[in-house]
Structure 1
């Protein structure tokens, strides 16, 4: 378990930006209300977009960045309570046999993670060409939910459908899953694509994502963590905060900043620039999340 003193020790050791997301009336950086009860906080690690199997520019070290990230997470002074990968575990291929080899290779590398459990989501590179069939052979269901110390986590699949939709069946499942929760439950949604329209022409959207957001808006304590766009981005839809994660393979340009979403050039002077993972400190009673960003390796 990670308490606030241990978290501040982690913050002091690491570089990167810290972003506070205040929900349910808690402003960024807000302290607990006077007289608030003690609670059992925790932290987890989010990694995303490893694209195992990718080769060539702009990352000449593509065979090693995932392994470096695993080693860095294993070396954290205070272990997280769980780890989540938010999609694009592997790089896409038209060859079903090669797809399975890449999924198997990814699974073998991340099996070295000391912390359990590890939760996985597919990305479109893993699942769009076969509706997640190969992914499910290695990692199980593409959408599911779980609870951890008072926070309800719901992992959604907005990639197995080639049209970038959740679909009516999954939306009904999400609604039923959340209907079983008290309205004031802290809820964290894990996704690959953004649920909102960040940059639709770049495939940075979910076509029926607004329907999911409309369901989530009925709950006052919701936060979304996603991947796909290979960079940090923080966005609000009503009271819902959406936070994207950096990639483990190459960074992409800011939304709409250039005609194409081509990867940013490799910088040999700073080979890990724009790459990394994050720690998320959760305070369940207030649904306050503190995000600490780290590079693939930590000095």
Structure 2
């Protein structure tokens, strides 16, 4: 736990107003288990370290700007999660490792040392996560914090975009030990539902993942991949996509091709950002604050 307390609800809303960010409440009502303390965490996604191109003329600057902003928060988050695509894809295994080494050095500048990372397809699909595991450890795992069970899923190491039978069995075994009312937060890279499969915005066996999660009353999913804020529900399960730190992508089906949104010199860093998630206990409520990348 950090030495400074997490901001209370009023402080959190004041932070959002000061930053010009939007706050969205995501409820997990009726939780009866013994709660822990209030806390908050930060989500960063789609860093694409190594990318170069006109959609972001400050390609090596946006991640350091986000890290500086997180370090400057008035109260440190309990942990930071990175929901994939830490690096931009490359066919060269040596260059892939060079980019991972560089992004790891950037991440090490964070003052909060409790971090959870997972790969995106740019990190893992060409070598089934081999290089990612060398630098960052397992591609799927669980952890618990203040009474909340967190599950990190890997739906990118398989080049076909599947979670896969072995990981589905692992998930089922993990869930089997939890009461049905347990608060569960899932982190993954691709959406688990069919947002827009034509643009690879889906998981081939995502329906099987959701089928295993469905019996649990209080589930929230945070993901990346689509480079924009997006909120969706599959039954009682809430899904929240995060913005990218490299370039935004257009809304699903809004144009024929999935092309990055052009850089707007008049409004630099538009569409880029990161997220704070404030967790209020008893009953559990999640308040999402979207934070922009500041010039």
TM-score class, shorter: over 0.9
Task: Give the aligned partner of residue 137 of structure 1.
Answer: 134
Q: Return the TM-score normalized by structure 2.
A: 0.95
Contact kept, 8 Å, 1:151 with 1:284, in 2: the verdict is no
Give the superposition deviation at 1:182: 1.8
Question: Which residue of the partner structure matches residue 12 of structure 1?
Answer: 17
The match for 1:127 is 124
Gaps of 5+ in 2: none
The answer to whether the aligner puts 1:281 opposite 2:286 as a matched pair is no
CA shift for structure 1 position 108: 0.4
Residue correspondences, number? 290
- Counterpart for residue 98 of structure 1: 95
Please point out which of 133, 136, 151 is paired with 1:154.
Answer: 151
Instruction: Mark the CA change 1:48 to 1:73 in structure 2 (over 3 Å): closer, same or farther.
Output: same
Give 1:11 shift: 2.5
Asked whether 1:269 is paired with 2:266, we answer yes
Alpha-carbon distance, 1:76 to partner: 0.7
Q: Deviations over 1:63-118 (max 9, x none)?
A: 11111111111011111110000000000000000000000000001100001201
Q: Distance in 1 between matches of 2:128 and 2:71?
A: 32
DSSP 3-state at the match of 2:29:
coil
Preserved contact between residue 162 and residue 204 of structure 2 (Cα < 8 Å): yes
Counterparts of 1:272 and 1:285 in 2: how far apart (Å)? 37
**Matching residue of 1:30:** none
Partner of 1:238: 235
Q: Secondary structure at the match of 1:294?
A: strand
Q: Structure 1: any 5+ residue segments left out of the alignment?
A: 27-32
Q: Residues 187 and 222 of structure 1 are in contact (CA less than 8 Å); yes or no, is this contact kept in structure 2? A: yes
TM-score (norm 1): 0.93
Coordinate RMSD, CA, aligned: 1.7
Looking at structure 2, the residues matched to 82 and 39 of structure 1 have their Cα atoms a distance apart, in angstroms, of: 15
Tell me which residue corresponds to 1:258. Answer: 255
Query: Structure 1 residue 9: deviation in Å?
Result: 3.4
1:78 aligns with 2:75: yes
SS of residue matched to 1:145 = strand
CA contact under 8 A between 1:186 and 1:284: conserved in structure 2? no
Question: Alpha carbons of 1:99 and 1:86: their partners in 2 closer, same or farther (altered >3 Å)?
Answer: same
SS of 2:78 mapped into structure 1: coil
Any conservation in 1 of the 2:35–2:147 contact (CA below 8 Å)? Answer: no
Match of 2:165 among 160, 165, 168: 168
The answer as to whether partners of 2:186 and 2:219 remain within 8 angstroms in 1 is yes
4+ residue runs over 3 A deviation: 36-39
TM-aligned CA deviation for residue 171 of structure 1: 0.5
